A and B are shown apart, each in its own frame.
Chain A
């Protein structure tokens, strides 16, 4: 076994509301949605019209510039709405689900016996291709590329994250089949990065045909970008693909059963949830039925698809994000606080020790979405370095993005980072700078200029 790579720089944010490993039941959602906004940089072209009947696995829309990449319906039913935003940008394609799900038929086969092109073809058609994302840029992988390696992080270190061990429980066969499909896609290796202390599941530890790497330490240890940086950093011209364990199950099921089965366990977490626990649901489901009986309703709340650092705010009857296996509910916190900056702050969480909450390091916090301050120019230095375990100078990189200096961005390592890797920098920022937005802007600019 390889040595354990220990991540020392970073920050574990302890929040109230970790999900118990119990599978609660909720009524199945009636509506589902696929949101093109979940895919950065995508220009969607619709393939269906409102009122069209679709099956699970039927294409809803495709990528205008790479038409072979399909985005398919998670369930069978009727397309009931296409919601658009400014300049007719497509925001959501909503499907009313049938009671009995009908599936598109795909080829059942052991991926180990298939060629690379056959595996690719099947993934593209079924819509599972969208789960393969590439680094640099953190966008959907280009089918024409042959990646240097494929990396899978088998744990999530983000606050209140779902336990991946629990998510893949009992699906060892599908997982292995998914891995076998992935090995077909690269000439390099498939890396499965596990947590040296926490990963117990044999689904991961006994996975075959992959390289297992061990990590330990604080968040962002579970971020695949950090893991790649520690194992084999991305240089200019390199392409690496990443995918998450649950999504490998989807691929496994596709080859095993020949259907697009994207049912997944998700964790319902956060301080404003009565009984944080896990639920069985399907990709793109409305969260309404799950949240219905579970919300504490004493305060104004915020529902997040994903975790508190990288997730997207959704309405209480909104839809799960494409890549998310977690819902977090926190207080909105849109209230004024009298002399809040001067109080001792026993309930306030800070990486610095300027609030007396540092006296209780193991306390779990109920944090809200308040900014706790105003936007300012950069004043403090060295804060970002404490939470980014990469040989990248975050503050300098962000500044080069602010002035849109492409050469400097490239030299300072824009290829190695995804917005999520710098999420903690944004969290700790005294000046409340929107670091993740900036990283995404920088990446968009790179894509535009380099193509």
Chain B
């Protein structure tokens, strides 16, 4: 490793001010700091620092996403062969899934990081680590049938409009990965909804609808029709929990997502407050609907089932917890999370046009997170003022 270090030290002056490639300084630094934690020491303030940095933080999040990714790869192959009515070996299933999914991941990273590097270069900034996570999140919330060029355009939109126009990592107001998905959803609706997109190269005769799509049909169904939809498509909660259902690549398996949640919470990176309150919020709204029971959707889907359908769990664990776009105060996080869960189920049930409401709920609450924080901060200020009055 010494040789590599020497090589870097030798090349470094070329990339610094006055060097031949001074314009590429950000890129050089990005690679250098990727290979080596820099030798900078503290000059003011605390002499020792916690070993954690943004690279570590982001890599832990990526690690937490791995179970969902692996399951997504398997499920892609599984759903494909299921729709064709063929049986396949485990390895064939995995290889098929890998062939479908790897290109999406590569496109997401290449496009996203390319733009990040370009912006860093233009501004003379360092390249931030934020996209390491976004670049993994974007493929996981795409339908497996998404054309690669659409993934590329969505990613580019997310990085430029979702993040860089605000000033880069740490400054954005919406979760960039969700911006990508929202762009995709509204720009190419035919590729993001309907029954065709969720299973790769499925047989035409096979219904590829997601449980959410089936559930949405419950709204207009009554009596026996409703019961039959439910028993046929929605009664197998175990499959939904394990993840053998059609859906976006990474969102189907609640188990895999929960493994990720455990990693995030145990390492202290993800906020358990947000995760827990999202689930509580979703359950509360579901329970209210159960009580109201105005249509078959409200009546037949138990509150807990909302939590394992569609992107609810994935959104709660990986999307809502993005520290930059979430509420920042401890109390704010609980309110923010609760409203996400609450609104997600509300939109899902009340508006058949948006069966996947988690995305919209999170983006909406991202928008309101600063407002929630504002009131929490005002609360702190009021307590301080009150103290003066009590004393006076």
Contact = CB atoms under 8 A, between A and B. Distances in A.
Contacts of A429: 49-50
A330 B47 CA distance: 9
Given A349-B51, A354-B268, A371-B38, A377 B169 contact: yes
B39 A336 contact: yes
A313 B42 CA distance: 10
Interface string A368-392: 1111111011111110010000011
A353 B268 contact: yes
Nearest to B389: A235
Contacts of A413: 380, 384
A48 interface: no
Contact of B48 (A339, A351, A427): A427
A36 to B, nearest CB: 17
A302 B45 contact: no
Contacts of B268: 351-354
Nearest to A11: B50
B170 A376 contact: yes
Contacts of B35: 338-339
A10 to B, nearest CB: 14
Interface in A320-349: 328, 330, 332-342, 345, 348-349
B284 interface: no
A237 B53 CA distance: 39
B381 interface: yes
A345 B51 CA distance: 9
A396 interface: yes
Contacts of A379: 54, 57, 130, 169-170, 323-324
B48 A434 contact: no
Interface in A347-372: 348-355, 357, 367-372
A67 B169 CA distance: 50
A372 B54 contact: no
A269 interface: no
A26 interface: no
B1 A338 contact: yes
Interface string A404-437: 0000000111000000000100111111101111
B391 A396 contact: no
A371 B55 contact: no
Which residue of B37, B39, B324, B329 has the most chain A CB atoms within 10 A of its CB atom? B37
Contacts of A368: 41, 48
A41 interface: no
Contact of A348 (B33, B51, B271): B51
Nearest to B383: A391
A82 interface: no
B52 interface: yes
Contacts of B211: none
Contact of A373 (B45, B48, B53, B381): B53
A308 interface: yes
Nearest to A302: B47
B188 interface: no
Contacts of B128: 376-377
Contact of A370 (B39, B56, B267, B385): B39
A370 B45 contact: no
Contacts of B129: 376
Given A309-B47, A354-B267, A370 B380 contact: no
A339 B36 CA distance: 5
A90 B50 CA distance: 34
Interface string B348-392: 000000000000000000000000010011001101110110010
Given A372-B37, A381-B323, A382-B328, A354 B45 contact: no
Contacts of A354: 52, 56-57, 60, 267-269
A412 B330 contact: no
B44 interface: yes
B59 interface: yes
A373 B55 contact: yes
A395 B333 CA distance: 14
A341 B47 contact: no
Contacts of A162: none
Contacts of B38: 336, 371, 373-374
B45 A437 contact: yes
Contact of A310 (B46, B57, B130, B323): B46
B122 to A, nearest CB: 17
B104 interface: no
B51 A427 contact: no
A281 to B, nearest CB: 21
B266 A426 contact: no
A305 B167 CA distance: 39
B49 A372 contact: yes
A318 interface: no
Nearest to B54: A376
Contact of B37 (A337, A393, A396, A426): A337
B44 A434 contact: yes
B381 A412 contact: yes
B349 to A, nearest CB: 31
A357 B56 CA distance: 14
B65 interface: no
Contacts of A427: 46, 48-50
A350 B51 contact: yes
Nearest to B42: A369
B50 A393 contact: no
Contacts of B52: 350-352, 354-355, 372-373, 428, 430
Given A352-B50, A369-B48, A340 B36 contact: yes
A13 interface: yes
Nearest to B378: A411
A391 B382 CA distance: 12
Interface string B122-152: 0000101110000000000000000000000
B60 A371 contact: no
Interface in B188-245: none
Interface string B37-81: 111111111111111111111011000000000000000000000
- Kindly name the residue among A352, A354, A370, A381 whose own CB sees the greatest number of chain B CB atoms within 10 A: A354
Contacts of A430: 50, 52-54, 57
Interface of B: 1, 4-5, 33, 35-57, 59-60, 126, 128-130, 167-171, 266-269, 271, 323-324, 326, 328-330, 333, 373, 376-377, 380-381, 383-385, 387-388, 391
9 contacts: A333-B41, A335-B39, A339-B37, A341-B53, A342-B55, A350-B50, A372-B51, A379-B54, A381-B329
Given A309-B47, A352-B267, A373-B37, 9 more contacts: A338-B36, A342-B59, A369-B42, A370-B41, A382-B330, A411-B384, A426-B45, A427-B48, A430-B57
